[in-house]
Chain A
Amino acid sequence: MSSRKSKSSNLIQADYVSQVQRILRERFCHQSPHGNLFGVQVQYKHLIELLKRTAIHGESNSVLIIGPRGSGKTMLINHALKELMEVEGVSENILQVHLNGLLQINDKIALKEITRQLNLENVVGDKVFGSFAENLSFLLEALKKGDRTSSCPVIFILDEFDLFAHHKNQTLLYNLLDISQSAQTPVVIIGLTCRLDILELLEKRVKSRFSHRQIHLMNSFSFPQYLKIFKEQLSLPSIFPEKIFAEKWNENVQSLSEDRSVKEVLQKHFNVSKNLRSLHMLLILLLHFWFCLGNMLALNRVTPSHPFITAADLMEANQLCSMDSKGNIVHGLSVLEICLIIAMKHLNDIYEEEPFNFQMVYNEFQKFVQRKAHSVYNFEKPVVMKAFEHLQQLELIRPMERTSVNAQREYQLMKLLLDNTQIMNALQKYPNCPTDVRQWATSSLSWL
């Protein structure tokens, strides 16, 4: 009887867990528009005012939203658009065009995309236009309402704005900004970019038509606010159906955010990178460790090893987050390859980072091998060459210039892309490292 009860409670537990997973995953993996804005209230107000002025009063505007990657530019604009659409009478009237610099790689494609998004494909039909400007103005004319006195305001959102500045003559930017300055149709041009020097990329004629309005998102929150964000991101919303479970969960999250070791981990993370995306990465790993599978269960249902998140899960997640990837690659190299890396390290020490070639590395390696006790590493030169080429394939060493047909491979100059601390750290962790190799790593001289 008790086993049946515990089985049913396990099932209920698994159900809650699945719901928790769904909510948290949507929060971390998918940019849901329901999230809260952290620390960008001022910028948000500025943006929403601008949008309202165009949508309701018919003013034309242009603005650039500048901020590092992951600072919330797209989230900001999505929030603003959502709020705008809720204002009465706006949503039927206004048109949105979303362009992205990664997708529309030249102006022709951009123009086709604008036509498509404005649903004017059949209006344009097979017309041939003389210039870009003609085409664009035709499109905007076509948007005029029945009485031809006013036309629908259009919101142009240009993501990866700096990529548009690399197009030929910056035609798209010039024409869009030209329209925003002239009195044709009310448009607002919103550019999102991660480059602070975006204005230097614009041509003079484009820059002069731009209103120089910039909204900066600077991730300007402090560590206590970061902690608060951490807590909010992990807490379940009040609309969660199982109230008791949600309460217990939120209490657990509260106690977790007050734990000292958790604070230390978050402080380290905060010092490296403030943006919320890296926090989300850490939280995804946290979810994974909470869920650590002891055995691979059938079905897609997975059950966690313990009911609530603990600080130990966060420790493990942090460790995984801050791994040195090159160190991991060195961990998997064979002993011969490690010997070659140590030989390169010694060459770098002696010749102060001058480039070397395979023959020099081989000579250095031979000096090690010829000490009597180390004849076990006496491999043939082609075998050593193969190991060297494997290192090149892994991009741990790089040729100084492109492979030329005239030079022989053994004499091509290379550079090592690992530094001494990385090598020594990797050697510490290297499994079954022979002692003589380890000793050779610390000193290239032998006093025997």
Chain B
Amino acid sequence: MLHLENMVLCRESQVSTLQSLFGERHHFSFPSIFIYGHTASGKTYVTQTLLRSLELPHVFVNCVECFTLRLLLEQILNKLNHLSSSEGECSTHITCEIFNDFVRLFKQITEAENLKDQTVYIVLDKAEYLRDMEANLLPGFLRLQELTDRNVTVIFLSEIVWEKFRPNTGCFEPFVLYFPDYSIGNLQKILSHDHPPEYSADFYAAYINILLGVFYTVCRDLKELRHLAVLNFPKYCEPVVKGEANERDTRKLWRNIEPHLKKAMQTVYLREISSSQWEKLQKDDTDPGQLKGIKGSVETVTRDTSSVITHNQDTKVHTKEHV
């Protein structure tokens, strides 16, 4: 399991908590687990990686994809059916519209041989969307072990704290687990991990240091930082590529990249311009102020069509909220 350490950086204690919660295969686990933490703190990744490497039977569903009850229930049942059927067997698509049928079909499917004596895990990602679906769904999933009388555990992953999920008359309280945010050292370690092979790790680490210095006070989201790191690295390497400086010339590299990163904060970070436009910008070395972003092109359109718009329509267009 040493490779698990390498796959999941800086999350050792969470992995060990989850492992001890899962326990052994045939043991009962707590009926529902609620994992919360900031976005990009590794909840989905760690849960998925752990379940896969321990080879526990699990079903992973994203509540943003399954925005109706039927989609959600059918996806869970069909994935479970797929797990329980042997290879080569083509299983029919199961339909299910209400929670009552779901419970009944779930009991049938988990009678299968290879699912019988182990804990089955259902992972619901972006669980905050469950609150907007039918009212019996969230309390039902929290109690699924009791309702189906099977060894099943439902794991909820969300960004919002548990107190905002609790229904009015109460419910079965899940086991609440917190995934802490990454510290600056952890962020540095993780970001430096995906350095391109052409350059040395120290060179990339110095770049990450500069990037964090500019962006850390504003944003700690790992996904955003990774995106920015990838986008701006070519500009950072430019002096080295052109031969103006070598890898250790930190001051020159810093002077080259710093204004660029500041511009990035005003444009790409705010999604004012797309990342492909940003890359083109870096190649052409133009001033981003001249670039017509999404806002810019809409303004051009309104300016061009204003001659055919009457006075009343005109005021409506110009006082409407910006795109």
Contact = CB atoms under 8 A, between A and B. Distances in A.
Contact of A29 (B29, B170, B178, B272): B29
Interface string B160-172: 1111100001111
A329 B161 contact: yes
B220 interface: yes
A263 to B, nearest CB: 24
A426 to B, nearest CB: 12
Contacts of A329: 36, 38, 161
A377 B216 CA distance: 12
Q: Tell me if B's interface is mostly helix, strand, loop or mixed.
A: loop
B220 A334 contact: yes
Given A287-B20, A395-B160, A296 B30 contact: no
- Place the interface of chain A in its size category: 35 or more
Contacts of B27: 21-22, 25-26
A379 B218 CA distance: 9
Interface stretch (A102-110, A130-138, A233-241): A102-110
A104 B140 CA distance: 11
Interface stretch (A206-214, A352-360, A362-370, A382-390): A382-390
B292 interface: no
A378 to B, nearest CB: 11
Contacts of A109: 98, 100
A331 B181 contact: yes
B112 to A, nearest CB: 21
A31 interface: yes
Given A109-B100, A393-B159, A296 B15 contact: yes
Given A29-B31, A334-B218, A194 B17 contact: no
Among A68, A69, A328, A379, max chain B CB count under 10 A is at A328
Contact of A30 (B145, B147, B160): B145
B207 interface: no
B196 interface: no
A397 interface: no
B16 A18 contact: no
B24 A387 contact: no
Interface residues of B, number: 66
A395 B160 CA distance: 7
Given A102-B143, A292-B16, A405-B321, A334 B217 contact: yes
A387 B172 CA distance: 34
B266 A383 contact: yes
Contacts of A25: 23, 27-29
B234 interface: no
Interface string B182-193: 011000000000
B30 A382 contact: no
B270 A288 contact: no
Contact of A432 (B146, B184, B270): B184
Interface string A316-355: 0000000101101101111110000000000000000000
10 contacts: A18-B24, A29-B28, A30-B151, A74-B146, A100-B147, A302-B20, A377-B217, A380-B266, A383-B270, A431-B183
Given A288-B17, A296-B19, A395-B161, 12 more contacts: A29-B31, A162-B169, A292-B16, A300-B54, A326-B163, A329-B161, A332-B38, A334-B216, A334-B217, A335-B217, A380-B265, A382-B266
